[in-house]
Chain A
Amino acid sequence: MIRAHVLICGGTGCTSSGSNAIQQAFAENIEKCGLTEEVKVVQTGCFGLCALGPVVIVHPDGTFYSRVEADDVKEIVSEHLLKGRIVERLVYNDTGAETPVDGNVSLNDTAFYKTQNRVVLRNCGVIDPESIDEYIAMDGYAALGKVLTEMTPDDVIKTITDSGLRGRGGGGFPTGRKWALTAPNKAPQKYVVCNADEGDPGAFMDRSVLEGDPHCLVEAMTIAGYAIGATQGFVYVRAEYPIAVARLQIAIDQAREYGLLGKNIFGSGFDFDLHIRLGAGAFVCGEETALMTSIEGNRGEPRPRPPYPAIKGLFGMPTVENNVETFANVPQIILRGAEWFASMGTEKSKGTKVFALGGKIKNTGLVEIPMGTTLREIIDDIGGGIPNGKNFKAAQTGGPSGGCIPASLIDTPVDYDNLTAIGCMMGSGGLIVMDEDTCMVDMAKFFLEFTVDESCGKCTPCRVGTKRLLEKLDKITQGKGTLEDIDELEALCYYIKENSLCGLGQTAPNPVLSTLKFFRDEYVAHVVDKKCPAGVCKDLLTYVIDQDKCIGCGMCAKACPASAITRTEYVAPGHKLASFAIDADKCVKCGACVGTCKFKAISKQ
C-alpha cells in the first residue's frame, strides 16, 4: 500500500537542471531501502518555481525540497521516507534567507503559492501528465461528459460567453463570441485549432500546460468541437518543445484508446479527433492566419482579414482558433459554472492569468493570479522582489508586441483594459522585470532586433519599417542620434502600426512607443548628453579609475583583456605605489576590471 508520493518536476526547466537523474536516484534508493511497496515516484509537470529547480515534493506532508541534486537523494530517502525526519537543509526557505528552515515547509504555505489561484495550472505539478487515469481522478473528462450528455452546443457557447473568458494569447477577444461566430456557418468540415506556437522571448506558460496537463487541452478542444460542430482539431506546437510534444501525443493516444477521442464519444454520436502539427519556430506563425497557412503546408505568412477564420479559416473552412491557456480554462468553466469563473478578476477581464516571471526578480517562474492583481503584488509578494537591493524600474509585458509599465504605475491592477490604456499589452503573459541597471533604449532595441529577425517579409511596412526603426535605435545607442531622430522614430512607429498586414507588424513598434512615452528623458540623454543613464550602452560609457582611491595593486591591469590599463606616475597622498589609469582608446568596455578592485576605485560614467 502506497503511503507517500514523491513528485519530481519533469518540466523543461527542471529537466535541464537534472531532474531525470534525480528520478533515477530515487528509484534506486527506494528499492535499496525496501520501500518500493510504500513509496511511489511520480514525474509531474512544472511546479512554477523554475529558479529553484530541480523541485521535489514529498506527500502527504507536502514538503517542498528545492535545488535537489542526485547526491541528496540518498539522504531524502533514508531520512525522510524511511525515518520520517525532514531533511531541513534542502527545504525551500520561503523567507529568502540562505539558512535551513526549522521543520517542514509545505509547498502551499510558501508566499509564492499562497497568493496564487490555480485554475489553468491546477494539475501542473500535481498529476502525472502521462497518466490519463490520474487526470480522470482530478475530474478529468467530466466536463466533456457533461457537455455531451446534458448540454446543447448553444448551451456550451452561452456558458463560455457568460463566463467572460477572453483569449489568453494576446488580443483578448471574447472566446464565447468567437465560438458563436463560427457555430452557425454551414460547411462540409469545420476545424478547431489550438495555437501552441508560443514565441515571445521568456514566455512559457503554454509549454507548462502542455507538459503538465496535456489531457486538459484534449478535453477542451473536444468540447470546442462539439460547440461549433467541428470533428477535426489541430494543435500547432513548435518543434523546440520536445517534452510538450511527446506528452501531448501520449495524451491523444490514451484518449483514443479510452474512446474519448474518435467516433461516437460517450455514445452521443459526436465524433472528434485531434492531430499535432509541428512548427519550425517562426514567431509569425503565432499569428492566427499565418499559423493556418503553415498547417496547410505552405510557408507561414499571414493573410489579410476579413475574411476572418470564423468564416474562412483552415483549408478555407470555418475555424475556431484559441491558444493553450484559453482552452485550459474551458473544462473548469463547464464544471464549475460561468458564475464561478466570472466571480474572479475585474469587470471586463474575468478569471486568472498565468504569467511567466523573468528578468531581475528572485522567484523566476510561473504564477497564476486573478486578473486585477497589482503589479506590486506580483513582483514583491509572489516574485519575492528585486535581488541585490536594486530598485524596480519597469516591467515589460507582452514581449516584442507589448510595452513597459514604469515604476510610477506599479499599483496598476493588471488586466486587459488597464494595460491597453497605458500603451502596454497583456500579450501571452511574459512578464520581464527590470531594475535600475536596465537601459530602456537598449531594451527597445533588443525587441526590435527580434522583430526584424522574425518579420516574414510579406508586407513592406513591417519588413522595411522595423529595419529602419532598428537602425535609428542603433544610431541613438551609439551616441550619434539627434533630437530629430527621436521624432522621426516616433512618426515611423505610428506608420508601421497603421499599415502593417498582421499583428506582428502592427505591434512591433510598441516597445519603442511605450519606452518613448515613459522614458523619453533616457532617449534625450542618449542624443543630447551622449550618456546612457543606466550605464548599459557601451559606446556611451567610459570606465575611469579614481586616482586618489587607487592604491596601485595592479589587479585591474591583470584582468584587462585589452591591456588598456597601465601604471601612471601619480602617487596618491597616503599611498606607496603609483596609481593606474585606463586608456579610453584601448578600452573595450567589458567591465572585467570593476569586479577586481577591492577599493571601489573603478566606476563607469
Chain B
Amino acid sequence: MKTLAELQAIKDKMQGKVSLREGSGEKRVVVGMATCGIAAGARPVLNAFVEQVNEQGLAGSVTVTQTGCIGICQYEPVVEVFEAGQEKVTYVKMTADKVARVVEEHLKGGTPVAEFTIGNYKA
C-alpha cells in the first residue's frame, strides 16, 4: 500500500462488514423468525433485506434483525419497521420480491408501502 486512497478503499470495503456491530441504525427492520415465520418463508425475506440494505448503502442507518413470534401467525412472514419518533409499521405476508419496494420506498424514501401493511389486509 502506497497511498491514502488505497487505505480508504480497504476502509470502504470493510466498513459495511463491521457496521453491523455498532447497532446504531436509526431504523430497525425486524423480521419475525419463529417456527411460524420460518415455515411461511421468513428466511428469504430476511436475507433479501440484509442484501438490499447493504447494496443500497443503507447499512449505517438501517439495522436488520430478527425476533420471535409476535402472535399473528396467519399473517407471517411479518416484518416490522421501527423508527424513533415514528409509529411502528407492520408489513405482513412478505415475500422476497416485495422487499425491494420496502427498501426503496420506505427505508430510502421514507414513505411506508401502504398496500403491504397489516391495515390493508384487515380492511
Contact = CB atoms under 8 A, between A and B. Distances in A.
A530 B34 CA distance: 68
Contact of B10 (A3, A5, A84, A133): A133
B7 A5 contact: no
B4 A85 contact: no
A136 B47 contact: no
Interface residues of A, number: 35
A7 B23 CA distance: 13
A258 interface: yes
Given A1-B51, A3-B46, A59 B7 contact: no
Interface in A392-449: none
Contact of B25 (A38, A60, A145): A60
A108 B23 CA distance: 10
Contact of A266 (B4, B32, B35, B67): B4
Main secondary structure of the interface of B (DSSP, over half): helix
B1 A258 contact: yes
Contacts of A264: 2
B15 to A, nearest CB: 5
Nearest to A145: B4
Nearest to A35: B43
Contacts, number: 94
Given A83-B35, A84-B33, A139 B11 contact: yes
A137 B21 contact: no
Contacts of A82: 33, 38
B35 A134 contact: no
Contacts of B18: 126-127, 134, 137-138
A127 B22 CA distance: 11
B81 to A, nearest CB: 14
Nearest to B33: A84
Contact of A106 (B3, B23, B66, B67): B23
Contacts of A145: 4, 7
Contacts of B67: 84-85
B70 to A, nearest CB: 10
A84 B68 contact: yes
A122 B37 CA distance: 37
A138 B19 CA distance: 9
B99 interface: no
6 contacts: A38-B50, A60-B25, A82-B33, A83-B68, A133-B13, A259-B2
Pairs of residues from A and B, 8 with the lowest C-beta to C-beta distance, nearest first = A84-B66, A137-B14, A84-B33, A85-B68, A3-B50, A1-B51, A259-B1, A84-B67
Interface of A: 1-5, 7, 38, 59-62, 82-85, 106, 108, 126-127, 133-134, 136-139, 141-142, 145, 149, 258-260, 264, 266-267
Given A139-B11, A259-B2, 5 more contacts: A1-B47, A1-B51, A60-B20, A133-B10, A137-B11
